Amino acid sequence: MGVEVIPRTARVYVGCALLAAIAATLPALRPGAGTPWPTVLLLAALYAACELPARCSLVARAVGHAPPTAGSFFPVLLASALLLPPAAAALTALPGAVLAGVERPPAGVRRAWRAAQLALAVWAASGAARLFHCRSALGVGPDVPDFPYALLPAGAAALALCLTLTALDGGIRLTAEQLPPRAAWRGLLGRTLAPHAVHGLAGLMMAVLWRSPYGPVAALFVLLPMYISCWVFAQYHRERAAHQATIRALVQAVDIKDRYTRGHSERVGRASELIARELGMAEPRLEVVRFAGILHDVGKLGVPTRVLRKDGPLTPEERRIIELHPEYGHEMVRGIGFLGEARTAILHHHERMDGSGYPYGLKGHQIPEYARVVAVADAFDAMTSTRSYSRARPVETALAELGRCAGTQFDPRMVDALARALARHGWQTEVTADEAAAPVPGARPPRPDDAAPAAAQPTGAPADAAPAQEHA
């Protein structure tokens, strides 16, 4: 769930999932159910212990890694699905789900969702495994497991776990993020199928060792590669944190240098991501396009401060200097490998569909897709933000202006995607820099790098002094 305030529809969805999870676990709690409580408690404690580093920073430092990635210890849950009846297996997920770390509030709702989701997924996995007689396939005591047949119930359990988690995840994206149904489930199954297949094999290994004469202690050895996996994931998360820190430092440097656009970069990144998501871009590309929006004006660091903060019209020479900022920005980030295609957006976000933009005068689809996304997001935020030289326009007015310039300055496909995204999600308009101040006489006029459609310029107005001409 990626929003701070969880919509009512999402809360109802979580409530329904909780009721379903309670119904799934109740049979194990009935008197005379024959639930193997020692096994249930051991597996539940084991899974909870695996999730503990995600909750306790002291333990995380002791084991030497960041909180485990969700799913790192699914083999424990899959072993539960193979060893226990469905209701009992579902119980083993609850303590670990409650202990798992929560990145954003409200923590209670998110933990409840995680517990319900895992309980239902393990219940489904256990039911699928029992369809293929997993109990006899695993062997008991001196009995040898029935290989390769044992792979069948293990594969069924892993597939059922994956499908259940995918279905529930898509539902929460549909209700919490209010995505269209097609976008809510897009890509979820493809990203998780292979990892869950690996988890299924590890879970089968745990279950076989658990049922062997060596008992549960032998099964613990399967967790060693899981902790190694966690260490690898921790390195990945540290690298991502370093990426984020790099981007924050660059954006803060731009904001300090050009106080008139403070906060603009973050909002352009957010609007770019909304457009890209509406276009159906895959998750990895969404992150890159957000980076492109955030860093689109990083080249301002190469523009003299006296030019950026000049009060009054720019000279032709000063205009040429400012129009170099996309190339400055591209040079600055050329060596930052993780930005990928975002670098082309930084270079080309001032190109126009009719070929009249800069720095290279590209036309139509010669302009990289990311650059066309960022150009629309950039112009939209400029028009809907209050600055010292212009008042914010209503969202509807800004969209109408973008639509008027679609085909000449902006890609119509990107403009339409922004309009659809805003109709679904809305937009929190904010101000930039000297926020509370009303426009004052003599304030700096818009620059060629400030964003808004050039077509909005009043007839006969100077190119660098027109209030609407913020995206030359």
Sequence spans of domains, the chain:
8-237, 258-456
| Residue 136: both structure tokens together | 């006899």
pLDDT in tens, 208-228: 888 888 888 887 777 777 667
Summary mean pLDDT of the chain: 82
pLDDT in tens, 225-278: 766 766 676 677 777 778 778 888 888 888 777 766 667 888 999 999 999 999
The pTM score is 0.55
pLDDT exceeds 50 at position 471: no
The CA distance from 15 to 409, in Å, is 47
Which listed CATH number (3.30.565.10, 2.40.50.140, 1.10.3210.10, 3.10.20.600) goes with 258-456?
A: 1.10.3210.10
For residue 386, report the phi and psi dihedrals to the nearest 5 degrees. Answer: -85, 130
The CA distance from 156 to 346, in Å, is 47
CB 262 within 8 A of CB 433: yes
CB 300 within 8 A of CB 258: yes
Report cis status (omega within 30 of 0) of the bond before 153.
Answer: no
DSSP string, 222-286: GHHHHHHHHHHHHHHHHHHHHHHHHHHHHHHHHHHH-GGGTTHHHHHHHHHHHHHHHTT--HHHH
Distance, C-alpha 33 to centroid of its chain: 43
Residue with tokens 């270079």: 347
pLDDT exceeds 90 at position 21: yes
Q: What own/partner pairs with CB < 8 Å and gap ≥ 24 does 1-7 have?
A: 1/109, 1/110, 1/113, 1/172, 1/176, 1/177, 2/176, 2/177, 3/176, 3/177, 4/104, 4/105, 6/106, 6/109, 6/176, 7/175, 7/176, 7/178
Backbone dihedral region of 280: left (phi > 0), alpha (psi from -120 to 50 degrees) or beta? left
The CA distance from 395 to 411, in Å, is 18
pLDDT in tens, 363-400: 999 999 999 999 999 999 989 887 655 678 899 999 99
**Whole-number pLDDT of residue 355:** 95
The CA distance from 76 to 73, in Å, is 6
The CA distance from 137 to 127, in Å, is 15
The CA distance from 217 to 211, in Å, is 11
The CA distance from 40 to 286, in Å, is 41
CA atoms within 13 A on the CB side of 328: 16
Q: Where are the alpha helices (DSSP H) in 300-407?
A: 305-308, 316-322, 325-333, 342-348, 369-384, 395-405
CB 206 within 8 A of CB 76: yes
Give, in order, the Cα–Cα distances in Å from 397 to each of 30, 299, 318, 369.
62, 29, 31, 25
CB 420 within 8 A of CB 278: yes
CA atoms within 13 A on the CB side of 322: 23
CB 230 within 8 A of CB 67: no
The CA distance from 202 to 196, in Å, is 10
pLDDT in tens, 427-462: 876 544 444 334 434 444 555 555 566 544 433 332
The CA distance from 201 to 198, in Å, is 5
390 secondary structure, DSSP code: B
pLDDT in tens, 392-417: 889 999 999 999 999 999 999 999 99
